[in-house]
Structure 1
Amino acid sequence: MGDHPGRYPEGEFRRRVAALQARMAAADIAALLLTTAADVFYVTGFLTRFWESPARPWFVVVPAAGDPVAVIPSIGAELMAGTWLSDIRCWDAPHPEDDGVSLLADTLNDMVPPSGRIGLPMGLETHLRMPLADYLRISDRLAPREMADATDILHRVREIKSEAEIELIRATCRIADAAFARVPEFAGPGVPLDAVFRDFQCALLGEGADWVSYVAGGAGPGGYGDVISPATARPLARGDVLMLDTGAVKDGYFCDFDRNYAVGPPSDAVRRVHDALYAATDVALAALRPGMTAADLHRLMTATLKSAGVEAGGGRLGHGLGIALTEWPSLTPLDDTELRENMVLTLEPGAVVSPGRILVHEENIVLRADGPELLSARAPAELPVLG
């Protein structure tokens, strides 16, 4: 199979598989079982919205050596055949009595000796996308082979992005940059928040997003209460702060950053917190280097906010980004993951304006040897005003 149209050359996928296989060898893993949309896409280029249907499981097996094997429902055979994989094994699904169980078990039994170990992501930010009952049946059929946790194998490989991946994330960020620039066209005093959300999604699609997997935000007087609630029909009013946050997708890769807008002139308290968030981001952009940990970066931004007399918001202040909206690591005081060159991250400091009111500021970066490189266009230093 040659280049995968519109995305990467075949060599990109071979590089990824080779990196996984090197870590598999070090962990004594004879085969790696992948079941989720992100992991399957990562090693194959198989990209479809059909994952939204829970009716069928999908499997890709990465052997200790050689090319991956797809074990998938027959409805996906043609699309998978357009990827670089050549070994594609299918069953007619959904099958109430044997939904790929026998085919997957036979594939793994052929690949892995009885004393071998089969890796499966089992830790944080992973899930098993198949019925638990079927997993137990497969495990019985694979005995005495051992199922082992392969979370670290996937995380350490996927968190370092190739230049091809970085350019795809940059392209998605540019789409969102263009959509954010259009917000004053459809948002202002008197416009219902749910209409703003819909128009923002239309703007993202109009600027070239393949789909808009995530739109969130909020609006309220002097800030917003949270950043995950669905939009209501409440009209924007002068004194509000509007925030829009997006995880738009292009060629399988996400952006994830937000922008804040004052509806009418902002209050002094809003200005002060906005300036502190901007300064905390500037400090991170200036000081972040490979070798720091996620916890180090969290402390750096928190300390900057504290020095400005602002209380940092709870939770993490950023995360990894790529073929999922949020990836590891998490910028929290508890995450000691080493930040390495070519990780793509979000910087997402948040702070309290007043009881029940917050502001959050987010940018997307790639960590280079000499520090961060912005992938999203830097937000304006002065809070934009609508109306």
Structure 2
Amino acid sequence: MTSTTPTPSAADRPGPEPFTAEDYRVRMDRAAEAAADAGLDGVLVAPGPDLIHLTGYLPVPTERLTVLVLRAGEDPVLVVPTLEAPDAAGSVGGPALSLRNWTDGADPYATVAPLLGATGRFAVSDNTWALHLLGLQQALPDASYVSLTAALPMLRAVKDAHELARLAAAGEAADRAYGEILTVRFAGRRESEVAADLAALLLRFGHSQVDFTVVGSGPNGANPHHEAGERVIEHGDTVVLDFGGLKDGYGSDTTRTVHVGEPSVAEQHVHDVVREAQQAGVEAVRPGAACQDVDRAAREIIEAAGYGDLFIHRTGHGIGVTTHEPPYMIEGEEQPLVPGMCFSVEPGIYLPGRFGVRIEDIVTVTEDGARRFNNTSREMAIVE
């Protein structure tokens, strides 16, 4: 991998303003109130992205029960194994929590049960281990449980100013990675080699975690989630580049489609249709519009061009502490857009056995439209 100009390292840039215990307390209170408004008696959150978002605490999921209990009008309680209590108390959100610990050999579900009551209906984070949910059901057979995403799909959807700043920085870092990858040679190299270059660039520009580096060349580009493999990229290939990960705890995800040498008329035409569709999707973003309106706007362009059957996925997905989360830009999703929501707009056309084209930006809803977090050119770039 080569670079034409030196680029400052991520260490040269100031980090984001840290979240505080009060930030996490506000999020937990909001979640408890949203649960009450939805007719729920509370929220149970296991280790995973919801717990990170609500508390900043990131324990390793194990057979030992850790669960956050949120109920409207009550202090949030984090039940933890005794050996992990110091880490929980010392986390950023720890001061906003009341800790209850249980010791090996004791029944952890007996510790949780008095916090819930004998009956009630609770939202449970989607990544809760079955082991723990079954233990709760046995301890409280008259209580009932629903998926947190199904009950409160917008729990993490609306970002505050600090979160938006992190997402913007992650998008800018991914853009810098794209700018650099255009300077490397594609022809004669394996997809996996270019994917490794992309991963290294994401880390170089401040990502702590690389989640995916899709490099789909030629016919492989017709598979939207193609795993970069050992195919040697050839002159004349269209190449889909889709990459992202986490920077300062928040996600990036962008896609551009490049061409090795000059594209054919057909390849350029398909790319132009996708670029127009992507622009239409972004222009459909505004407060009060439904999520499905974004999908409809992009899909209408592709269908009018005669490629409707070749656009085989939704137009977008939410992003935050994970790279895929609600809301989803898909037909049937009537959730209204509100300022602070962040999601991808990524239409594509996939011609089996030939090539694919996708263009993706992360956007946030503003008071009067949309702001992009990815700002590299959407024209088809020519690479060597």
Provide TM-score, normalisation by structure 1: 0.86
Is the 1:252–1:323 contact (alpha carbons within 8 Å) kept by the matching residues of 2? yes
Q: CA deviation at 1:117?
A: 3.1
Q: Is residue 16 of structure 2 the alignment partner of residue 8 of structure 1?
A: no
- Note the 1:21-170 alignment, pairs <5 A: 21-47=32-58, 50=60, 58-73=66-81, 76-80=84-88, 81-85=90-94, 86-90=97-101, 102-103=107-108, 105-121=109-125, 127-130=126-129, 132-170=130-168
Q: How many residues align?
A: 365
Contact 1:273 1:352 in 2 (8 A): no
Distance verdict in 2 for CA 1:14–1:265, change over 3 Å: same
Counterpart in 1 of 2:268? 271
Once the two structures are TM-superposed, the CA of residue 148 in structure 1 deviates from its matched residue by 4.3
8 Å CA contact 2:277–2:298 kept in 1: the answer is yes
Q: Distance in 2 between matches of 1:164 and 1:27?
A: 27
User: Cα deviations across residues 263-283 of structure 1 (Å, max 9, x unaligned)?
Assistant: 111111111111111111222
Moved more, 245-254 or 359-368: 245-254
Bigger Cα displacement from structure 2, 155-164 vs 173-182: 155-164
Residue 136 of structure 2 aligns with an amino acid whose one-letter code is: I
SS in 1 for 2:349: strand
Provide, for residues 235-263 of structure 1, a one-character-per-residue CA deviation record: whole Å limited to 9, x for no partner. Answer: 21111112221221012111111122111
Note the alpha carbon deviations across 1:171-208, whole angstroms, 9 max, x for none: 11111111111103334211111111111101110111
CA contact (8 A) 2:359 2:378 kept: no
Counterpart contact for 1:273–1:353, Cα < 8 Å = no
Aligned residues of 1:213 and 1:247 also touching (Cα < 8 A)? yes
In the TM superposition, residue 344 of structure 1 has moved relative to its aligned partner by 0.3
After the TM superposition, which residues 193-212 of structure 1 pair with which residues of structure 2 at under 5 Å, given as runs?
Answer: 193-212=191-210
- Aligned-residue CA RMSD in angstroms? 2.5
C-alpha deviations, 1:205-238, integer Å up to 9, x for none?
Answer: 01111111222231116x7121323222222111
**Residue of structure 2 in register with 1:124 after alignment:** none
Alignment of 1:252-263 (within 5 A): 252-263=249-260
2:354 & 2:334 partners in 1: Cα distance? 30
TM-score (ref. length: structure 2): 0.86
- Do the aligned residues in 1 keep the contact of 2:215 with 2:242 (CA within 8 Å)? yes
Instruction: State the one-letter code of the partner of 1:17.
Output: M
Identity rate, percent: 25
Aligned partner of 1:344 in structure 2 is: 342
Q: Unmatched 5+ residue regions in structure 2?
A: 1-15
Indicate how the Cα distance of structure 1 residues 381 and 373 shifts in structure 2: closer, same or farther if over 3 A, else same: same
Aligned to 1:186, what secondary structure does the other structure show? Answer: coil
Q: Report the CA distance shift for 1:230/1:10 in structure 2 as closer, same or farther (over 3 A).
A: same
Deviation string, structure 1 residues 135-181 (Cα, Å, up to 9, x no partner): 22321212333334543553223111111111111111111111111
Distance 1:190 1:135 in 2: 52
Partners of 2:148 and 2:221 lie apart in 1 by 39
- Give 3-state SS (helix, strand or coil) of 1:216's partner: strand
Q: What SS is found at the alignment partner of 2:135?
A: helix
Indicate the SS of the match to 1:157.
Answer: coil
Partner amino acid, structure 1, of 2:296: R
CA distance in 1, matches of 2:198, 2:64: 32
Single out whichever of 36-45 and 281-290 deviates more from structure 2.
281-290
SS of residue in 2 equivalent to 1:159? coil
Structure 1 gap ranges (5+): 122-126
Matched, 1:362 2:360: yes
Does the 8 Å contact 1:218/1:244 carry over to 2?
A: yes
Query: Which secondary structure state, in structure 2, belongs to the residue aligned with residue 32 of structure 1?
Result: strand
Does structure 2 conserve the Cα–Cα contact (< 8 Å) formed by 1:275 and 1:381?
no
> Using a 3 Å threshold, how does the CA distance of structure 1 residues 139 and 240 change in structure 2: closer, same or farther?
same
Instruction: Give the superposition deviation at 1:72.
Output: 3.2
1:272-308: CA deviation from partner (whole Å, max 9, x where unpaired): 1111111112222333222222222211111122334
The farther-off stretch of 162-171 and 25-34 is 25-34
Between 288-297 and 64-73, the greater mean CA deviation after superposition: 64-73
Separation (CA, whole Å) in 1 of partners of 2:71 and 2:151: 14
CA contact (8 A) 2:284 2:293 kept: no
Q: Deviations over 1:81-130 (max 9, x none)?
A: 222224334457xx7xx6x8x22x23432222324333324xxxxx3431
Kept after mapping to 2: 8 A contact 1:269/1:353: no
* Structure 1 segment 286-325 matched on structure 2, within 5 A: 286-311=283-308, 312-325=310-323
- C-alpha contact (below 8 Å) 2:20/2:92 kept by paired residues: no
> Is 230-239 or 300-309 further displaced after alignment?
300-309
Q: Once the two structures are superposed, what CA deviation does each residue of 1:47-75 show, in whole Å capped at 9, x if it has no partner?
A: 46x45xx6655322223334422223456
Given that 2:47 and 2:128 are in contact with CA atoms closer than 8 Å, whether structure 1 keeps it comes out as yes
Q: Distance in 2 between matches of 1:323 and 1:188?
A: 32
Q: Are 2:225 and 1:234 aligned?
A: no
Question: Any idea what the Cα deviations from partners look like across 1:317-355, whole Å, max 9, x if unmatched?
Answer: 111111111112222223222222211010011113465
Contact 1:190 1:236 in 2 (8 A): yes
